[in-house]
Structure 1
Amino acid sequence: MEKYFLNPPELPNWEQSFSQIVTVRSGSLQTIYLSGQVAMDSDNHLIGEDDLAQQATYAFQNLEKALASVGASTTDVIKLTIYVKDYKTADVRRISEAFRITFPHKNLPASTWLGVQALALEGILIEIDAIAVMEV
């Protein structure tokens, strides 16, 4: 079994706190663990302040960038966890629109949506982590 700890330059730089991606290779399978993706650009600037729809779109784009950095795509994702600050049922539409753009395929990953009081930094409204599996 081999483990790789990655911090791709196209994602926010958190390497002093955690790895953006950890991959584990065993035989012909690679499991990919993605840290929570948020609406921050590669210079760690928040995108879409006070706008859940815009933050959801950007967080899903960061998820796609993270997957692409290890040769994976959203079709390889088997599990998502979505954390939403001060979640309300009205938020479903805003998040679902960004989700369906990122995951247009028939076979969708298992997912859990959680309302939380706060996220890591002030202003972040949504965070999305994922697990993916692919053959190598």
Structure 2
Amino acid sequence: MSGAVKLIRNEELTSVVEYAYAASAQSPARVVWTAGACPLDEHGATVAVGDHAGQAHQVMRNLATALRGAGAELTDIVQMRMYVVSDRQEDLVEVWKVVRSHMGEHDAPGTLLGVSVLGYEDQLVEVEAVAVTP
């Protein structure tokens, strides 16, 4: 985790969740906003059609690459939003587990949403993030 990001846990809230409840950024810092990372390969094709977990892995690899291009890492994320095309909680949890596996110990706050459709053909998963670097 960069020195600019502090993850905040509150003992008054349940500890069973797998993420920090809030995050703060130390000033001066540089903020990086990402577009939604999509499950596209280097040719622009949607990978792992029909597979939430497979798409989530590609999304997180693409997110990490986008952040590196901006001089940041996954551990610099202060907040993220995950979109999953499904009305089944099991599918959302499956994506959450993949995202957590890529984030390691850095349990930045995030929001997990089930949605009806995303922008690319056969797309099931998208993740956007805000990162802060010193």
Give the TM-score taking structure 1 as reference length.
0.74
Structure 1 stretches of 5 or more lacking a match?
Answer: 1-26
Q: Does 1:129 align with 2:128?
A: yes
Question: 1:67 aligns to what?
Answer: 67
Q: Does 1:89 align with 2:84?
A: no
Sequence identity percentage: 27
Question: 1:114 aligns to what?
Answer: 113
Ranked by relative contact order (alpha carbons within 8 Å, sequence separation 6 or more), the top structure is: 2
Aligned length: 108
Distance 1:119 1:49 in 2: 13
Question: 1:14 aligns to what?
Answer: none
Over 6 Å off, 4+ runs: none
C-alpha contact (below 8 Å) 2:46/2:121 kept by paired residues? no
Question: 2:78 aligns to what?
Answer: 78
Once the 2 structures are TM-superposed, how far is the Cα of residue 48 of structure 1 from its aligned partner? Answer: 0.3
Distance 2:37 2:131 in 1: 14
Give the TM-score taking structure 2 as reference length.
0.75
Superposition CA RMSD, Å: 1.5
Distance 2:51 2:81 in 1: 20
Distance 1:131 1:42 in 2: 23
Once the 2 structures are TM-superposed, how far is the Cα of residue 86 of structure 1 from its aligned partner? Answer: 1.8
Between Structure 1 and Structure 2, the one with more strand by share is 1
Structure 2 counterparts to residues 11-50 of structure 1, below 5 A: 28-50=28-50
Matched to 2:29, the amino acid is: L
Distance 2:115 2:29 in 1: 33
Once the 2 structures are TM-superposed, how far is the Cα of residue 70 of structure 1 from its aligned partner? Answer: 1.7
C-alpha contact (below 8 Å) 1:36/1:129 kept by paired residues? yes
Structure 2 stretches of 5 or more lacking a match?
Answer: 1-26
